[in-house]
Chains A and B, each alone.
Chain A
Amino acid sequence: MRRFRELVGVALAGLTARKIRTFLIMLGPILGVAAIVSAIGINESSKGDLKAKLRELGTDLIVANAQDQIGGFGSNPRIPEEATARVARLPDVVSVSATLQLSNIVTLPFAEASDYYRAFPVPVIATTLELPATLEVPLVSGRFLNDYDESSGARVAVIGKDLANEYGYMANEPRSIELNGISYGVVGVLDYVLLEPSMDSAVFITFANAVEDWDIEEPDPSRLYIRAPTNTKYVAEEIPTVVSLGGPDGANTSVPTDLLDAQSQVDENLNNLTKMMGGLALVVGGVGIANVMSISVIQRSSEIGIRRALGHSRGTIALQFLFEALVVGVLGGILGAGTGAGVVWLVSEMRGYTMILSVSGLFRWALVSVAVAVVAGLYPSNKAARLEPLETLRLG
């Protein structure tokens, strides 16, 4: 331990005696590590918001759309009501909601606005009662459609949050809207649905109303929302079969967060490229260390000779120079990691990212710098150890 401390002391004395030179050879590791750390950090941080959003949404919601096996553009494919029940019974499925978007309905907050809303129709969606639960979206105010609404056929509606804002709807205000002239009482406002933004300006009614008031013969949905926290992927693959059971009614499924998930994946190619570039900077830095230290060994040959005369072995001399390289690598690594982290912080601040920085990554790259420096120090330290002391002492 003493020996270790003494070696560090000798190395530090040698390095601080030549501050500029020491700083210059430290620049290689500093720049290399800083480049890698900041590039990876910025890359990760730029995806940070997406990742946070993804965590909020969960990645276990499946959307199944009805699909005609036979195809055809004009057709309006539907999923039979029984199929919905079959999907709900799948072991990994915790919640299913069925929806059907109704067409040709003009929705008005009041009669005078008809011109505008004829031009920009508001979607009307018939839905089962579990929708908020399946989508994991709360109500901003009021309540969602319930069993009583469904069984009694009461004309009530829930509206999306954007629509509520547009209508100037105030929480729990008794108010009705007109769907093709039929008056529906608004009972609640659904919060923003991140995965289905079109719902934010939609009107939700029960299937009972859809069958009663609009031209729907069967309460069959065209779309299912399925929450399956486990085996999401397999459930999604299974659903088309469960829906069709070999019959003509088909469905295709997707996991909407998959796209986000893909977007939130850090570009590995880019990361590898930056690692390569930073690695190159480190290697060049290492060559610099080897180079400058070799020159240093020649300039300090008399010091080496006298140390040998004082009883330091070849091994000790080698270690002394290896420790100088080690100190350069350690300090360069720490400064580089610190600089890199600083750059990531700065860029994240400026661009409003959520900063993501792996501490173990900082350590890892600092260690790489240490390794590079020590390898670079092998040649000069070996050279120093091989010097013949008498030859170095003969001349001034």
Chain B
Amino acid sequence: MGEPLLSLEGVSRVYGEEVLVHALRDVSLDIRAGEYLSIVGPSGSGKSTMLGLLGVLDLPSSGTIRIQDVEVNTLPDAERSRLRGQAIGFVFQQFHLVPHLTALGNVETALLYRNLSRKERRRRSLEALELVDLGNRHDHRPVQMSGGEQQRVAIARAIVAEPLVVLADEPTGALDTRNAANVMEIFAGLRSDERAICLVSHDLDVAGATDRRISMRDGEIVGDEWQGSVS
């Protein structure tokens, strides 16, 4: 097994100032290349909190976050953001597409400020849209697309910069069964030896599709099982 792409080491996250909420308590977790894992647990158990920390979109109250051995939680914001943009692709339950941009514009947003030519940005974004089967919808705005389509645009946006890890928080949570299945197919198709995919979900079908399943309760990891064939 290779070096971890992402790792949490003794990470805690406490919210609030007077009333303290211990959303995450002393959690350690490694995610390696090629892994396809899910994080499950009851509502409020700290899944989203952990996902945010894995992607250094949030900072821990204590503990260390590493992206490929680089301690990122102590880096200045600009540097941390740059690493996040390179290493992580986020997908959320609410698709969070920018409403005034077209599908292509939304995907291109992930490639801004990287010293790429307009042409290159466009080419790679179209490629990503084709990967989610929306190449022909590139000039449509979010309001012109169904929820499933919007989520596929969001996935294209998450992968266009070729991140090491895709982090998805309830990616099927706002979708009907058919669209959910479609999205899961896309994730399955994104699996590769260089990349890790990490999904947060309530849905047992979603969790069942992954190789590794991490269970959480009250801000702690209470289970870490491998299912099916382990590569």
A residues at B contact (CB < 8 Å): 2-3, 6, 10, 13-14, 16-18, 302-303, 305-316, 388-390, 393-396
CB B71 to nearest CB in A, in angstroms, measures 18
Complex Cα distance A309/B115, Å? 18
Residue from A14, A311, A388, A395 in contact with B58 in the complex, judged by beta carbons closer than 8 Å? A388
CB A345 to nearest CB in B, in angstroms, measures 37
Closest to B83 in A: A311
Is B152's beta carbon under 8 Å from chain A?
Answer: no
| Chain A residues in 8 Å Cβ range of B94 | 302, 393, 395-396
| Chain A residues in 8 Å Cβ range of B82 | 311, 313
CB B228 to nearest CB in A, in angstroms, measures 30
| Chain B residues in 8 Å Cβ range of A16 | 100
B112–A389 CB distance below 8 A? no
A14–B100 CB distance below 8 A? yes
A309–B109 CB distance below 8 A? no
A311–B100 CB distance below 8 A? no
B81–A6 CB distance below 8 A? no
Complex Cα distance A268/B113, Å? 49
Complex Cα distance A207/B29, Å? 117
- Say yes or no: A307-B109 contact (C-beta < 8 A), given A314-B77, A315-B78, A390-B57: yes
Closest to A389 in B: B57
B57–A312 CB distance below 8 A? no
CB A387 to nearest CB in B, in angstroms, measures 12
B residues at A contact (CB < 8 Å): 48, 52, 55, 57-58, 77-78, 80-86, 88, 90, 92, 94, 96-101, 105, 109-110, 112-113, 115-117, 157, 161
B98–A316 CB distance below 8 A? no
Complex Cα distance A161/B114, Å? 80
B77–A306 CB distance below 8 A? no
Complex Cα distance A308/B82, Å? 10
B112–A303 CB distance below 8 A? no
- Say yes or no: A305-B96 contact (C-beta < 8 A), given A13-B105, A389-B57: yes
- Say yes or no: A306-B81 contact (C-beta < 8 A), given A311-B110, A316-B113: no
Complex Cα distance A322/B2, Å? 43
A309–B84 CB distance below 8 A? yes
| Chain B residues in 8 Å Cβ range of A390 | 48, 52, 57-58
A313–B48 CB distance below 8 A? no
- Say yes or no: A308-B81 contact (C-beta < 8 A), given A6-B112, A10-B112, A388-B58: yes
Between B80, B97, B105, B109, the greatest number of chain A beta carbons within 10 A of the residue's beta carbon is seen for B109
| 17 A-B pairs with C-beta separation under 8 A | A2-B115, A6-B112, A6-B113, A17-B99, A302-B94, A303-B98, A308-B81, A309-B55, A309-B84, A309-B88, A311-B86, A312-B81, A313-B78, A313-B81, A316-B81, A390-B58, A396-B94
CB B200 to nearest CB in A, in angstroms, measures 12
Residue from B96, B113, B115 in contact with A306 in the complex, judged by beta carbons closer than 8 Å? B96
CB B122 to nearest CB in A, in angstroms, measures 12
